[in-house]
């Protein structure tokens, strides 16, 4: 599994932006099979930064309704990555 298979996309929400500004934490959607060590190495390889810690959380599928049809949303895994002091990811710079 390559680094680009592990890190799927960044999660940009109000809460993730607050974490980024105040605590230097970045949120990514990651592969469900990836562990914390793989996520750390992938972020360090892709963005050339030093990772201090990684927290992960799994969101379970939720049953939703569209008219008469029921369906489940997709299960996702998110990683919140705290960078070392002075490290930033330029992808998230404010416009």
| CATH number of domain containing 45 | 3.30.70.330
pLDDT score for 93: 62
CA dihedral angle for residue 5, residue 11, residue 12, residue 17, rounded to 10 degrees: -110
Overall average pLDDT of the 25-32 stretch: 96
Q: Does 49 reside within a domain?
A: yes
30/62 Cα distance (integer angstroms): 19
Q: Does 52 reside within a domain?
A: yes
Overall average pLDDT of the 45-52 stretch: 94
Overall average pLDDT of the 36-50 stretch: 95
For residue 70, give its domain range: 3-83
pLDDT of 94 > 70? The answer is no
Q: Does 56 reside within a domain?
A: yes
Task: Using pLDDT thresholds of 50, 70 and 90, give the confidence band for residue 4.
Answer: very high
Q: Does 91 reside within a domain?
A: no
For the chain, how many structural domains are there in total?
1
Q: Does 93 reside within a domain?
A: no
Q: Does 28 reside within a domain?
A: yes
pLDDT score for 90: 80
Q: Does 21 reside within a domain?
A: yes
Under DSSP, the state recorded for 67 is: T
Q: Does 92 reside within a domain?
A: no
| pTM as predicted | 0.86
| Averaged pLDDT score across all residues of the chain | 93
């Amino acid at each position: 599994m390559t680094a680009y298979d592990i890190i799927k996309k960044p999660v940009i929400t109000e809460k993730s932006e607050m974490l980024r500004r105040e605590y230097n934490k970045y949120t990514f959607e990651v592969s469900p099979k990836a562990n914390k060590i793989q996520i750390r190495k992938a972020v360090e390889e892709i963005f050339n930064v030093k990772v201090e810690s990684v927290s992960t959380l799994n969101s379970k599928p939720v049953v939703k309704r569209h008219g008469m049809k029921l369906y489940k949303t997709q299960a996702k895994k998110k990683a919140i990555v705290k960078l070392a002091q002075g490290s930033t990811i330029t992808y998230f710079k404010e416009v």
